[in-house]
Amino acid sequence: MREIAIAPSVLSADFANLQSEVQMLNQSEADWIHVDVMDGVFVPNISFGMPVCKAIAQHSSKPLDVHLMIKQPDNYLEAFKDAGAERLSVHAEACPHLHRTVSQIKKLGCKAGVALNPHTPIGILEETIQDIDLVLIMSVNPGFGGQKFIENTYHKLTRLQNMMREHDASCWVEVDGGVNDQNAVKLVEHGATALVAGSFVFSSKNPTTTIQELKRSTSA
């Protein structure tokens, strides 16, 4: 069994104390640091770009898992790689030439991820699933933290597992949105191998303990 990766999202961190938040994650059992990049066009919110990503990377001892919720991501792949991204996930909905985008990410030396909005069917990945390192299933509508988990995510994970078996594909399956201690184990049972947790971690009294408990409950 693959160990489950926990990727706290710094979108929910205290931006005024971002360095100390990253240092807390360094000392925790988190596996990756999830960085949500929003442009205010592809999603109805603006977060941060390359300079903040680079600043996080300078203080992080964990790999940066960068999620590009932006239009025309191809124009920014190299810039985010240079800013410290180890994994780069783009949205299938934003990539008219998805295979080329995935190939470009890999050429840069990053792991290539493809994210799907809640309404986007798994079938869109059928022609590229063997080339992808990570599939990011959005379990809320992207743009804001703290949203309610969409229950259909479990069925979507099952369909993804079926597709991966059919095509003899192997990749990380990451779930982002509304992840907490009430649904984490069930998500893993349905095939998730990486969990993004934002407000659940950073709003807790002790984020380090929360990460530890999430890690141990899902990797048992």
* CA atoms lying within 13 Å on the CB side of residue 65: 29
- Cα 112 to Cα 23: distance, rounded to the nearest angstrom: 26
Q: Please report where in the chains the tokens 């080339």 appear, as a residue.
A: 131
- Where b means 16+ CB within 10 Å and e means fewer, 24-56 reads bbeebebbbbbbbbbbeebbeeebbbbebbbbb
Of 81, 31, 87, 35, which is closest to residue 56 (Cα–Cα)?
Answer: 35
14 noted as active-site residue:
no
Q: Under DSSP, is residue 30 helix (H, G, I), strand (E, B) or coil?
A: coil
- Cα 34 to Cα 64: distance, rounded to the nearest angstrom: 6
- 39, 65, 133, 176: which is the annotated catalytic residue? 176
- Cα 121 to Cα 7: distance, rounded to the nearest angstrom: 24
36 noted as active-site residue:
yes
Q: How far apart are the first and last CA of the chain?
A: 10
- 36, 39, 65, 133: which is the annotated catalytic residue? 36
* Backbone angles phi and psi of 11, in degrees to 5: -60, -25
Which residues does the annotation mark as catalytic? 36, 176
